[in-house]
Amino acid sequence: MDFTNKNVVITGGSTGIGFATAKAFISAGASVWITGRSADNLQKAAAEINSPKLKTVVSDTSNLAGIAVLEKAISESGTKLDVLFLNAGIAVFAPIEHTTEADFDAQFNTNVKGYFFTLQKMMPHLKEGSSVVFTSSNAAHLSNINVSAYSATKSAVNKIAQVAANELAERKIRVNIVTPGPTDTGVLAKVGMPKEVEKQVTEQIVASTAVKRMGQPEEIANMVLFLASDNAAFITGSEFVIDGGMTNYALK
């Protein structure tokens, strides 16, 4: 797929799926803006990608002030966007009984409010015929323990994306959803889980998939690029589950 002379914004682009997608877009010829909360992580991402086509913006999209930083950067650049990938997200694992208000709010602020208002503020900068992709999660379709608030945020994301597909159709802007399952982004290590526990949890997750392995960020990135390309010109308001068969397998 060729994205030469295309402009892409990726929220949460310094690590994981966002980072893999940024690399893929740049390899396909696009100019890419990535956001993140951590200047250090953005610098590391920029050093690894090492391309003049990459720009970084320190922007916490969980709040309107952070989104305004991104909006100002795009506005001042005069850039019109071909692709907006709403990907920044967090997860806190706890049963309902022990979920704090702070953890609940943090997840909804980042995963729901962040997506909603980033889309709103980027709308004037989207070209006619552009593509918007939301990152959801198969947690929106499962009822696993310890992820109630996170699962609820992803269910909300799906509905926002579906409504946005209808509202933006007049401008020929397509809106779609990628729904990863267990993906090897290092998230378990980041939550400070002991190595032995991390290994056990990973083994349990792998066993719950039909293909018996974790997904790779690059595999999610491939779907994002497809949905952003002209090959997907007749696809909008759709969700694509990329979870190694986990959702269907878990229901057996």
Catalytic residue set: 150
Distance CA 145, CA 60 (A): 28
Q: Please, what's the b/e burial string for 140-150 (b: 16 or more CB within 10 A of its CB; e: otherwise)?
A: bbbeeeebbbb
Structure token digits, residue 95: 């049963």
Which amino acid, residue 147?
V
H helix or E strand, kind and range, residue 150:
helix 148-167
Question: E strands within the chain?
Answer: 7-10, 31-36, 54-58, 81-86, 126-135, 174-180, 239-242
Distance of CA 168 to the CA centre of its chain: 20
Distance CA 162, CA 174 (A): 10
Q: Are 223 and 187 in contact (CB under 8 A)?
A: no
> Using alpha carbons only, how large is the chain's radius of gyration in Å?
17
Distance CA 154, CA 140 (A): 5
